[in-house]
Amino acid sequence: QVQLVESGGESVQAGGSLRLSCAASGYAISTYFMAWFRQAPGKEREGVAAIESGGGTSYADSVKGRFTVSKDNANNILYLQMNSLKPEDTGMYYCAAKSRWGMWSDPQNFGAWGRGTQVTVSS
């Protein structure tokens, strides 16, 4: 059974850094296209960053240069390093595994999701 468990979310001041982790079980993340999404209250879930099975990465314009997605295939963990955090980065962060063709930033193309970890950035 596929399971994704996120951790690392905290309350931080603007300008700070956090590293989120997503531990996967039931399958190997090395073979999947993985992504991080976030959802703020009252807003739609949006794609933040993605990493291909081969290691290629993609980012939302709003986080380019500040966030870095990576993975540890040996330990089956996905990471999201977040630097220079802004209040608008606040939200619940989810990791997900892509299950069908389509835009990486579209949540409908992802079939497995974690329960999320909360990130709150105060000004």
DSSP annotation string for 43-69 = S--EEEEEE-TTS-EEE-TTTTTTEEE
| Per-residue model confidence (pLDDT) at position 18 | 98
59-104 tens-digit pLDDT: 999 999 999 999 999 999 999 999 999 999 999 999 999 989 899 9
| DSSP type of residue 102 | S
Place of tokens 């976030």: 38
For the residues 103-108, what does the mean pLDDT come to? 94
pLDDT value of position 104? 95
pLDDT band at residue 106 using 50, 70 and 90 as cut-offs: very high
DSSP secondary structure letter of residue 53:
T
Higher pLDDT, 2 or 55: 55
